[in-house]
């Protein structure tokens, strides 16, 4: 009875997903991918990384790995033995330059160079995971588009990361200057599949990240990429889909209301359905609407209507029977109120898992077009929301298993994936 009440409420608000056909949505997603690959109007940027996963990994060859994401910067020296086991040494962690107040771009790259220079006497290879908005160039350098709001660097937009870092290293007397490969964390998550014992040329690799944000990377044939100025025709490369920007999944009235209240209305619409930055606040919006429609007892309706918001961590705590504002609201509530609240939240997580599985299955199907002898899917998954949001991984896995019954797949988590992926990129590209 409660389940049906929850379903009726979500359906009336357009927030249900059960009526949508998985295969039709996947086909629509593939069409949007193809538009993005051809520089036509698409919500999927389909960004070339110019990185391949095919080359062999050098044995016991060190590479400087840099992982810049959020407000943290990590730098280490990494090599791999014949079995792919990594050795991480000289690892350091510091705040990203620009987190303690505004600095100039010169100061930003000088601080990076001072942190990297001591390792340049050991190797001239650098893999740099830069988890901010960046355009990857054919040279595998990266042009900065923007940083996160916590990092203030004046004049860094449109600057080349590798070129500027090399200039500062040269001033510090580093010779020879290193080759710097720039990539994002989603491409890195795919590259670490080379370290998995199941990896082989007949496997279909894919990288999926669900943390604060949401993204997906897969392998594409170069002759399928018709972007302006793109000339490669042979081989394959990793494509960064920027799937969080996808805008064609069915959305409801409450999705639109939620989006309109954000600082970036109309953007990152898929991300706003499930990523760690948004699923908690979205649940608060939906619960308040449920209270407006008297889905709970009078006292609980009143408390939910005064709810200012809730975070994804708080949603997780509630589902895990921990302490949080939702638990306080429902502390003395009737069992039906608690079950209704839990049912609404779980259905929103299931919806996000369903659409995440659609996007992933579409990318896998696209990748399989040039892997005719594929017999296994390897899915590298990273991000705290993927593993810590209660129910998400199980729902996601179940939807994929149903959608891809003809081929086994394995979900793989790799510790230190950004650092290891950076090193792999620096060594094989």
- pTM listed for this prediction: 0.94
375 touches 202 (CB < 8 A): yes
- Which pLDDT does position 370 carry in this prediction? 79
- Alpha helices (H) along 212-334: 253-260, 271-274, 279-292, 298-305, 312-319, 325-329
Give the integer Cα–Cα distance in Å for 174 and 119.
Answer: 10
Give the integer Cα–Cα distance in Å for 68 and 92.
Answer: 12
- Which pLDDT does position 299 carry in this prediction? 94
Residue with token string 């379903």 = 7
Angstrom distances, CA of residue 228 to CA of 133, 224, 225, 260:
20, 12, 9, 33
pLDDT per 10-residue tile (average), the chain, 429 residues: 92 94 98 95 94 93 94 94 95 92 95 97 97 91 86 94 97 96 96 88 91 94 88 89 96 96 93 96 96 95 92 96 91 93 98 98 92 86 96 98 90 95 96
Give the integer Cα–Cα distance in Å for 414 and 375.
Answer: 22
The conformation of residue 185, written as its DSSP 8-state character, comes to: H
Domains and CATH numbers, the chain: 1-49+185-429 (3.40.367.20), 63-183 (3.30.420.40)
Give the integer Cα–Cα distance in Å for 423 and 63.
Answer: 6
- Which pLDDT does position 340 carry in this prediction? 97
- Which pLDDT does position 244 carry in this prediction? 94
């Amino acid at each position: 009875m409660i389940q049906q009440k929850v379903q009726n409420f979500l359906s009336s608000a357009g927030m249900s997903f059960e009526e949508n056909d998985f295969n039709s949505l996947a086909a629509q997603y593939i069409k949007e991918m193809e538009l993005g690959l051809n520089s036509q109007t698409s919500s999927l940027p389909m960004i070339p990384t110019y990185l391949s996963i095919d080359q062999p990994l050098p044995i016991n060859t060190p590479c400087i790995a840099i992982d810049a994401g959020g407000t943290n910067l990590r730098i280490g020296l990494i090599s791999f033995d014949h079995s792919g086991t990594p050795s991480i040494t000289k690892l350091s962690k510091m705040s990203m330059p620009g987190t303690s107040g505004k600095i100039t771009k010169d100061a930003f790259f000088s601080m990076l160079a001072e942190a990297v220079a001591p390792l340049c006497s050991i190797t001239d290879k650098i893999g740099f995971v830069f988890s901010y908005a960046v355009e990857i160039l054919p040279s595998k350098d990266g042009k900065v588009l923007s940083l996160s709001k916590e990092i203030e660097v004046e004049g860094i937009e449109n600057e080349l990361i590798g070129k500027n870092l090399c200039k500062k290293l040269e001033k510090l007397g580093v010779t020879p200057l290193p080759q710097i490969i720039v990539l994002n964390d989603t491409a890195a998550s795919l590259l670490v599949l080379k370290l998995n014992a199941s990896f082989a040329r007949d496997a279909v690799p894919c990288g999926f990240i669900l943390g604060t944000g949401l993204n997906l990377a897969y392998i594409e044939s170069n002759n399928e990429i018709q972007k302006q100025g793109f000339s490669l025709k042979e081989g394959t490369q990793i494509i960064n889909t920027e799937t969080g920007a996808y805008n064609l999944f069915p959305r409801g009235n409450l999705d639109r209301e939620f989006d309109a209240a954000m600082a970036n209305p109309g953007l990152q619409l898929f991300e706003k359905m499930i990523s760690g930055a948004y699923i908690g606040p979205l649940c608060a919006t939906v619960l308040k609407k449920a209270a407006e429609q008297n889905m709970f007892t009078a006292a609980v309706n009143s408390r939910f209507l005064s709810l200012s918001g809730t975070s994804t961590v708080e949603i997780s705590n509630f589902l895990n029977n921990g302490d949080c504002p939702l638990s306080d609201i429902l502390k003395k509530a009737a069992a039906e109120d608690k079950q209704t609240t839990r049912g609404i939240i779980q259905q929103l997580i299931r919806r996000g898992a369903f659409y995440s599985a659609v996007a992933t299955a579409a990318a896998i199907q696209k990748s399989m077009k040039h892997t005719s002898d594929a017999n296994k899917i390897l899915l590298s998954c990273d991000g705290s929301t993927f593993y810590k949001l209660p129910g998400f991984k199980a729902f996601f896995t179940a939807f994929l298993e149903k959608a891809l019954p003809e081929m086994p797949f394995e979900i793989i988590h790799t510790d230190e994936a950004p650092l290891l992926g950076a090193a792999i990129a620096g060594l094989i590209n």
